[in-house]
């Protein structure tokens, strides 16, 4: 939705918006994956860049310069390249994203314990308990934006409102690198100018139903009798949209829950039938998952793999370890054992994935040393790699089996097609 589709009611330029009672903030990083990746490629700032890779893959993120050509997240890479052939395509750096996300969430926790993360790069915050200590909601939003920029080198946009629904809409209006406050007494005119597609829970099919009913704006919904909405949309959807159309959203910010699992998968450029090559990809994915676990301060007990064949048939296998782990080696050895146990002989593989489940915080389940493990073993090596990655970029230190002759450094490897 573009900014031109809606705006706040006009006020004099010298009159700041009234944020009284607007204790819900929605904070969203701007083009997070692209912005984070460009920290290692400052020469590309201000140019069209797509984060993704492979003709079978999808766009993870894109800079605003690429988005102007119609490139969007989750779009097939083949289409994105057609829309913006001049874009530089860079591979994702998942370990870096996890590290920056952990820093952003720590910034939020310094403000309030009432945080509801929606993904690595966005969250709701309830700042009611922080006002006495840190000032008004708008000043807290400004503080968060400054801290994220100073400490992480990326920008974020903030919506400040009295409800989650309105705060999320406001942060979208603020993008990129801005903040929008929707005063409580302006919520109804703000909401009712929106197109119906902006309402929470309105997907493509529901929007088609609303259009058939002649309802194109939120104001149209608000002034349609509730029984008519219920007949046309069903009991639950009719009541839900009626409430939102009058700015009513009773949901509160739910304190963050630990991730239930951490995983990574990879779709290959072409189908692979060599088990040794599959092992190499499992090693890369295990390293990625382990780095994310360590960045989040988590360990896991259940290792699972996903295998998708050329005909799109997909199978999963899992094994629960005796002790929780965040170690690349143990995850990899378990993943390869699970794969080898499948007994696949030259099966054509399209995708493999590795996932850790049954997660617990490190402080709640300290990692036990393995019997016979050297005093300075694999865990120390993992943490040395983490330090090198933090300084030089993820992938700067890799297992030798993941380096092929003549392969450029991952910090400079680019697809310029």
Could you give the count of Cα atoms lying within 13 Å of 15 in the half-sphere of its Cβ? 7
| DSSP code, position 231 | H
Count CB-CB contacts under 10 A for residue 191: 27
Cβ(373)–Cβ(322) below 8 Å: no
Buried/exposed 50-69: b ≥16 CB within 10 Å, e otherwise: bbbbbeebbbbbbbbbbbeb
Count CB-CB contacts under 10 A for residue 219: 17
Residues 6+ apart with CB under 8 A from 166: 24, 159, 182, 187, 190, 191, 247, 249
The pLDDT of residue 402: 53
Of 1.10.150.20, 3.40.50.1240, 3.50.50.60, 3.90.320.10, the CATH number of 189-245 is 1.10.150.20
| Coil, helix or strand at residue 319 | strand
Phi and psi (nearest 5°) for 158? Answer: -130, 135
**Residue 28, marked binder:** yes
Residue with tokens 């997660």: 359
Query: Tens digit of pLDDT per residue, the chain (417 long)?
Result: 443 345 555 554 557 789 999 999 999 999 999 999 999 999 999 999 999 977 778 899 999 999 999 999 989 999 999 999 999 999 998 888 988 998 999 999 999 999 999 888 999 999 999 999 999 999 999 999 999 999 999 999 999 999 999 999 999 999 999 999 999 999 999 999 999 988 888 888 899 999 999 999 999 999 999 999 999 999 999 999 999 999 999 999 988 666 678 999 888 888 999 999 999 999 999 999 999 888 878 899 999 999 999 988 999 999 999 999 999 999 999 999 999 999 987 889 999 999 999 888 775 554 555 444 544 455 555 555 555 555 545 554 455 555 454 443 333 332 322
Cβ(55)–Cβ(77) below 8 Å: yes
Cβ(59)–Cβ(52) below 8 Å: yes
Count CB-CB contacts under 10 A for residue 271: 15
CATH no. for 261-402? 3.30.1490.100
In the chain, how long is the greatest CA-to-CA distance? 73
Is the entire prediction scored with pTM above 0.75?
no
184 token code pair: 């409580």
The pLDDT of residue 297: 81
The pLDDT of residue 95: 82
Can you give the residue ranges of every domain in the chain?
189-245, 261-402
**Residue 249, marked binder:** no
Catalytic residue status for 277:
no
The pLDDT of residue 405: 44
Cβ(285)–Cβ(354) below 8 Å: yes
Q: Exactly one of 122, 186, 266, 330 is catalytic; which is it?
A: 122
> Residues 265, 28, 44, CA angle at the centre, nearest 5°?
70
């Amino acid at each position: 939705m573009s900014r031109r589709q809606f705006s706040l009611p006009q006020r004099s330029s010298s009159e700041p918006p009234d944020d009284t009672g607007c204790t819900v903030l929605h904070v969203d990083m701007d083009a997070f994956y692209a912005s984070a990746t460009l920290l290692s490629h400052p020469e590309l700032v201000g140019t069209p860049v797509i984060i993704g890779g492979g003709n079978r893959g999808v766009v993870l993120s894109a800079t605003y310069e690429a988005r102007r050509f119609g490139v969007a997240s989750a779009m097939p890479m083949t289409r994105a390249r057609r829309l913006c052939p001049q874009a530089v395509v860079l591979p994702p750096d998942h370990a870096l994203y996890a590290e920056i996300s952990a820093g952003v969430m720590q910034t939020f926790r310094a403000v309030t314990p009432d945080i509801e993360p929606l993904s690595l790069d966005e969250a709701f915050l309830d700042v009611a308990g922080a006002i006495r200590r840190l000032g008004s909601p708008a000043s807290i939003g400004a503080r968060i934006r400054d801290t994220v920029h100073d400490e992480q080198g990326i920008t974020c946009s903030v919506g400040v409102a009295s409800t989650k629904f309105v705060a999320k809409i406001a942060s979208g209006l603020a993008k990129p690198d801005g903040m929008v406050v929707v005063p409580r007494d302006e919520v109804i005119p703000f909401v009712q100018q929106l197109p119906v597609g902006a309402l929470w829970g309105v997907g493509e099919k529901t929007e088609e139903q609303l259009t058939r009913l002649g309802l194109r704006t939120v104001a149209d919904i608000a002034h349609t009798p509730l029984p008519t909405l219920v007949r046309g949309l069903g009991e639950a959807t009719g009541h839900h949209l009626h409430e939102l159309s009058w700015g009513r959203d009773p949901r509160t910010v739910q304190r963050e829950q630990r991730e239930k699992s951490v995983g990574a998968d990879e779709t290959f450029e072409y189908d692979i039938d060599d088990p040794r090559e599959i092992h190499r990809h499992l090693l890369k994915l295990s390293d990625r998952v382990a780095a994310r676990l360590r960045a989040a301060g988590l360990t896991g007990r259940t290792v699972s793999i996903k295998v998708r064949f050329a005909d799109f048939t997909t199978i999963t296998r899992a094994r629960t370890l005796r002790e929780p782990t965040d170690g690349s080696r143990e995850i990899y050895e378990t993943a390869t054992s699970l794969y080898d146990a499948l007994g696949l002989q030259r099966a054509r593989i399209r995708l493999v994935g590795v996932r850790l489940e049954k997660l617990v915080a490190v402080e709640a389940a300290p990692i036990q040393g393995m019997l016979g493990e050297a005093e300075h073993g694999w865990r120390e090596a993992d943490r040395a790699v983490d330090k090198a990655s933090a300084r030089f970029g993820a992938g700067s230190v890799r297992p030798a089996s993941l380096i092929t002759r003549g392969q450029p450094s991952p910090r400079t490897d680019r697809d310029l097609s």
